[in-house]
């Protein structure tokens, strides 16, 4: 957690902001010394997609900091007022040039002391030419066995891809169990 306030002035009146504990057991909040406005520093939401194309997934190599050169799934920040699913699809189109359809929510990832909360969706390719675009220097299609685990950018990337691989294994086992049960009938 940041101990030094990121903001120094009130967005309402321009007065100085001071860290103050308003409720016991809660973190300190920035409070304006002039008008009393409480400036809540809420988390920032990111939306990502694990996009499946011909039984492989898209990974992008970051061309910007943080973690320049590391691999991620397509994604980025949700704009104020934007639907989270729409942000995941928009970011995917901006970063890899393709339109997608959201199939399911894979998970929500947050970590102590981190400002960003990451939502990750499973998506399928709809149309467009796949390419490395906005904030990406390269892209690749990989099977779960080819994921470059040591070169992934963020804890949320690692955790989401682990969850994806586990879900794929579970779904594969469930399909095989269903096939075996059908054979026994």
Q: Are residues 27 and 91 in the same domain?
A: no
- What rounded mean pLDDT belongs to the chain? 90
Q: Are residues 1 and 64 in the same domain?
A: no
CATH code for the domain of 15: 2.20.70.10
Predicted model pTM? 0.83
> How confident is residue 182, by pLDDT bands cut at 50, 70 and 90?
low
Q: Are residues 27 and 59 in the same domain?
A: no
Q: Is residue 170 part of a domain?
A: no
Q: Are residues 95 and 106 in the same domain?
A: yes
Q: Is residue 159 part of a domain?
A: no
Q: Give the mean model confidence (pLDDT) for residues 10-18.
A: 95
Q: Is residue 174 part of a domain?
A: no
Q: Are residues 17 and 58 in the same domain?
A: no
- 86: domain range? 44-151
Cα first-last separation, the chain: 59
Percent helix, percent strand, percent coil in the chain, to nearest 5 = 25, 35, 35
Q: Are residues 32 and 48 in the same domain?
A: no
Q: Are residues 34 and 8 in the same domain?
A: yes
Q: Write down the pLDDT at residue 177.
A: 54
Asked if the peptide bond before residue 13 counts as cis, ω within 30 degrees of 0, the response is no
**Above 80 in pLDDT, residue 174?**
no
Q: Are residues 101 and 81 in the same domain?
A: yes
Query: What's the domain count of the chain?
Result: 2
Q: Give the mean model confidence (pLDDT) for residues 123-128.
A: 96
Q: Is residue 49 part of a domain?
A: yes
Helix (H, G, I), strand (E, B) or coil at 74: coil
Q: Are residues 66 and 113 in the same domain?
A: yes
**Above 50 in pLDDT, residue 4?**
no
Instruction: Dump the DSSP string for 27-47.
Output: --EEEETTT--EE--PPEEEE
Q: Is residue 185 part of a domain?
A: no
pLDDT tens, residue by residue, 48-91:
999 999 999 999 999 999 999 999 999 999 999 999 999 999 99
Q: Are residues 70 and 107 in the same domain?
A: yes
Q: How far apart are CA 174 and CA 110, in angstroms?
A: 29
Q: Are residues 10 and 82 in the same domain?
A: no
Q: How far apart are CA 93 and CA 45, in angstroms?
A: 18
> How confident is residue 2, by pLDDT bands cut at 50, 70 and 90?
very low
CATH code for the domain of 83: 3.90.79.10
* 88 contacts 160 by C-beta, under 8 angstroms: no
Q: Is residue 171 part of a domain?
A: no
Q: Is residue 143 part of a domain?
A: yes
Q: Is residue 110 part of a domain?
A: yes
pLDDT tens, residue by residue, 132-153:
988 899 999 999 999 999 999 9
Q: Are residues 116 and 25 in the same domain?
A: no
């Amino acid at each position: 957690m940041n101990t030094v306030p990121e903001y120094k002035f009130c967005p309402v009146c321009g007065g100085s902001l001071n860290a103050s504990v308003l409720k016991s057991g809660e973190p300190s909040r920035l409070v304006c010394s002039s008008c009393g406005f409480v400036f809540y520093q809420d988390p920032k939401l990111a939306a990502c997609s694990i996009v499946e194309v011909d039984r492989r997934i898209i990974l992008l190599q970051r061309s910007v900091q943080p973690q320049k050169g590391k691999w991620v799934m397509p994604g980025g920040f949700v704009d104020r007022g934007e639907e989270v699913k729409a942000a995941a699809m928009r970011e995917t189109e901006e970063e890899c040039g393709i339109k997608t359809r959201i199939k399911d929510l894979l998970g929500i990832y947050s970590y102590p002391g981190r400002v960003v909360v990451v939502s990750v969706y499973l998506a399928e390719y709809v149309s467009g030419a796949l390419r490395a675009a906005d904030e990406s220097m390269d892209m690749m299609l990989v099977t779960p066995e080819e994921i470059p685990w040591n070169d992934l950018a963020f804890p949320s990337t690692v955790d989401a891809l682990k969850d994806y691989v586990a879900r794929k294994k579970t779904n594969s086992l469930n399909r095989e169990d269903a096939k075996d049960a059908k054979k026994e009938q």
